[in-house]
Structure 1
Amino acid sequence: MSANTSTSPTPQQIHWEENGVQHTARWRSEAGMPPPKRVVIADDRTNADVAYRLACEGTALLWRGDFQNARQLLQALARRADHKSKPAKKTKPAKAPATPTEAFHLHRQAQSQRARTLAMLLLPFEDGYTLPLRRAPDVQLACNEAYGRFEEPFVASLRELLGVIGAHEWRRTGVEIPALGARIHPYYGVFSPVRGEYVQLVAEAPLPQDTSLAFDIGVGTGVLSAVLAQRGIKRVIGTDQDPRALSCARENITRLELEQRIELKVADLFPEGRAPLIVCNPPWVPARPSSAIEHAVYDPESRMLRGFLSGLTDHLAPRGEGWLILSDLAEHLGLRPRAELLAWIETAGLKVVDRIDVRPTHPRAADASDPLHKARAAEVTSLWRLAAA
């Protein structure tokens, strides 16, 4: 499961006035946010309440003070944003959402508003990803990994930079995958396999008799391709549209010394030909992503899911199987009923051979304060074994 990213062919510009002089710089936002129309200069003297009010109004603050103070200001903005989302004790409690679907959309709306507010604290980057701020860390390596080399000056949000730094740490240390007995190192913008239950399903499901070839649709970090190869599949072809995902998978496969058995290809879903086993872990929730990494979680109108199902019979070898890894969270949120999924399977000329279920163990499933707790607590992740009807 990968994150599809897209970049604008024409870089956007951000404009501001400083010391009576008009300035322009390249604008960068991996979330696709447009450059703020109004920008003011902020520094160590800027009051957090004033900064929060400006950010809520859509006015960005370009930081010229100490870097560590900027991080503290961002934390203060986050506290104010989180406090605002909670009703005051003396006020009438907010009306509870009527349905799980309404709760989901309200939650997404609140997340989006929070992200927009916190993204209003901006940093200036000079050539080579240098931050001209006191006590600024060296972020060149982290930015090179996320954005590419030799970047010209630009402006981006501190929140995005912290995400880039966090991704660099994930990439450096990796994620332990018990099914592999090894670590997978995710790239920025590529979904990290931190939810191990779906990997374990692929590690334990009974393989078809023919283990000569498998397709891994949406290869992402390469974790499922690696699991299949370690289980004895002689050749695996992993596909993806995202250059970051393909680079990430290639590095992980090389680390695991599986490059002789796993081939990567640029493709929208299927490569050419047929295979006895085709595996796909599409995004699980049919909703519109609002940032690069969310492409791995949200699948607008179930495009990838429906594309996989509708094309599966044309790419399965005789007596072959398609493994669909899918959570039923969308069903508990009222976004995609089980009957609709079963109808797509039938319409595609497929039958369900078996379904292997597992309950997630991630912390959010047990977090009663989560607005979507009821749905998450009921969630089941399944490996659907599909074959031509």
Structure 2
Amino acid sequence: MTLQFTNNEGHAIITLCERLDTSSAMQTQAEINQFLSAQSPILSVTVNAAELEYVSSSGLRILLSLTKQYKNFKLVEVNADVYDVLNMTGFVKIMCVERALRQMSIEGCEILGVGGVGTVYRYNDDTIIKVFRDGTTIDEVRNEITMSKEAFVMGMPTAISFDIVKVGAQYGLVYELLHADTLSSLIMHHPERIHEYARMYANLFRQLHAIQMPADSCVPNALEHERKQVLHIRRYFSQENIDLLLQILDAVPAGNRLLHLDLQAKNAMVQGDELMLIDMGEVGYGHPVLDLAHAYSSLILFVGDYEAVIGMPRKLGEQLFDLTIDYYFEGQSADIIALRKQQIAAVANVRNYSWLALSDSFPEAVIQQCQQLFNERVIPHRDHILNVISTLKEWC
């Protein structure tokens, strides 16, 4: 038996390798006790069993002792053979046990979409995999599944992942979508049908925004989350510029409608005649203008390789969004629709820069480009933006 110990700010990790049997149990217990007694404080204890080949009854007693001593104890990366022992003895019912995730390869897989939190690949005709960016934790992945299930129950047409996997060192979510394609791909290959697809897209937004969030929902407040993201990027912008972004958010009316908050055309899969959402990492509740502003930021103001990320030429993306807003507000006067477009564009100024809060490891060149764009796109139009957001209170 080989042991490795680490302590990450009170979170103790014990790695067990090879066999935890009767002959090694006494020495293993002594080494674990010595390590833990030297740590203070201990916030949690995790035993990594990725390389544990076998555990005997003596080894099980060590695990039982740890789960009794430490409330935040868990056993992770457990292989099938060891899990069978834990399951047969009832240990999976008395302690937190996480199975090892199966490894999958995306070599040669088609990229369907690239976003701030990950990349979506087509694994085969029936399956897609969303691979999260480096640094994403298992808890963040599980949160996305939780949000997907919550939204699905309330009526959002979202695909539910049936498995968490590892792709190299990164986490992935596996979805089964039969013969589905992204909305952007369909528009790319059938631009003559853009009015039809724009109506589908608008109806999807309207379907989401018709859902009122119950008071006991675990879905977060989108406005509060957006405000936290703006505060997170204070290191990149002057306080005056941050104050302007916060002033825009302060003008957004409160709301309790279900919002996707990353509903660009590559996050919508078309299966038959239905649009199915596959990316639920940012779902929240609030006023619909936030959702539409996020889509505007992606489809109109995206900076970078537009076609690679959005999945269609910029001209088609801009046309799609303009038509979508027309259909979303269908039945209202031309003046109201024109005002709504201005309001969406004004609020989109927040998302254009708050997305930098998704990671603390963006290249310096990306940060500098955003700073330059803020100076070009926002500062010269400050008075116009403030004038437009002052009308948001009329949008109920």
Could you state the TM-score of these two structures normalised by the residue count of structure 2? Answer: 0.25
Structure showing greater relative contact order (alpha-carbon pairs closer than 8 Å, 6 or more residues apart): 1
